[in-house]
């Protein structure tokens, strides 16, 4: 039997005051929890993970046809060594997709984050991938919107207090991830916080995810059927630091073993500005303000908070699409006070 290393939250218990109190404690004390009774069966999750394995088993030629280097919107496939976290290369390959939208013409851009908007890249050799993952995207979006409203209730504010930042559909970003086995321990993905409101992670049976608690890294053992949920930077901002966006990482599995997961990130619309919620006095007194990291300042304008992470993580895409004069000018105007000259040494933004 798997031993839970994080609080376990049941969606079906969140209609009660006791359930909301448990959710509030998990989100404020840890920033991470398991979510069960969410409506997506363990069998369905296994089918999604099986499809993920099929994608990564495609030939290099088929995967490179949808490589992220072809997308100024940071969509598509990343081979091993294509992503960085904390200035170090991650030992994983992945496939990213987001909201399916038409791209904004270069001449119409007024904000650098608008370049994130655009179509996804889908492999023609796997025609079932697009409809299946789009369906999953909608199902997870519904779960996160419901959970966000329950979190607002747990904080003593109106359930719909953040709905205006979401609009008719939240900004979503999802990825299929494969961590191949390594002879020596490596950074599968380095320590980081997520930029949005909420993240859901679907894990296979292979462990590797670790959460920072105090001065220790705690293993997040997979529990069949449960999602791992973590609080993102936007919720830390909205709660003035009462809710915690927590550092987490993944260590590569041992040689001969692979780890598969599917991560789903939900945020406000890129055009939104996140408000600070008016918490009850008791909770407000316990809110210590959002984290202050000079290397990763939190931005209330959602688009730029999301974009800064993408620029740093995928420098090959940044160099191709964000170093032209128009994009560079927009970046300078939006990120003038941020230490982001590490994005591209050739540009010195």
The pTM of the whole model exceeds 0.75: yes
pLDDT of 228 higher than 90: yes
216-219: strand order across its sheet: 187-192, 248-251, 209-213, 216-219
pLDDT of 171 higher than 70: yes
How much is the mean pLDDT over the chain?
89
For the stretch 55-79, pLDDT in tens is: 999 999 999 999 999 999 999 999 9
For the stretch 253-266, pLDDT in tens is: 999 999 999 999 99
- pLDDT for position 346: 52
Which domains are seen in the chain, by residue range?
8-334 (2.60.120.330)
């Amino acid at each position: 039997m798997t031993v839970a290393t994080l609080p376990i939250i049941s969606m079906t218990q969140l209609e009660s005051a006791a359930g909301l109190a448990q959710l509030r404690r998990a989100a404020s004390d840890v920033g991470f929890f398991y979510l069960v009774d969410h409506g997506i069966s363990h069998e369905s999750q296994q089918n999604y993970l099986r499809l993920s394995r099929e994608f990564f088993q495609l030939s290099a030629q088929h995967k490179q046809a949808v490589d992220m280097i072809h997308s100024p919107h940071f969509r598509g496939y990343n081979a091993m060594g294509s992503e960085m976290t904390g200035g170090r290369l991650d030992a994983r390959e992945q496939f990213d997709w987001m909201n399916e939208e038409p791209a904004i013409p270069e001449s119409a851009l007024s904000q650098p984050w608008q370049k994130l908007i655009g179509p996804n890249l889908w492999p023609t050799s796997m025609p079932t991938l697009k409809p299946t993952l789009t369906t999953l995207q909608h199902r997870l979006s519904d779960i996160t919107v419901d959970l966000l409203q329950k979190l607002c209730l747990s904080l003593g504010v109106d359930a719909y207090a953040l709905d205006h930042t979401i609009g008719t559909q939240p900004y979503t970003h999802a990825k299929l991830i494969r961590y191949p086995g390594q002879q020596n321990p490596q950074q599968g993905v380095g320590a980081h916080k997520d930029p949005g409101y909420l993240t859901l992670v679907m894990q296979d049976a292979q462990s590797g995810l670790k959460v920072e608690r105090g001065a220790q890294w705690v293993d997040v053992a997979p529990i069949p059927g449960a999602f791992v949920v973590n609080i993102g930077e936007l919720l830390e901002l909205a709660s003035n630091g009462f809710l915690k966006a927590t550092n987490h990482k993944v260590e590569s599995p041992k040689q001969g073993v692979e780890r598969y997961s599917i991560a789903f990130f939900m945020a406000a619309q890129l055009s939104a500005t996140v408000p600070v919620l008016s918490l009850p006095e008791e909770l407000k007194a316990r809110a210590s303000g959002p984290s202050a990291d000079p290397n990763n300042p939190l931005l209330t304008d959602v688009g730029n908070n999301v974009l800064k992470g993408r620029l740093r993580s995928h420098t090959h895409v940044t160099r191709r699409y964000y170093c032209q004069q128009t994009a560079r000018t927009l970046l300078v105007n939006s990120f003038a006070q941020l230490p982001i000259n590490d994005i591209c040494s050739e540009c010195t933004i």
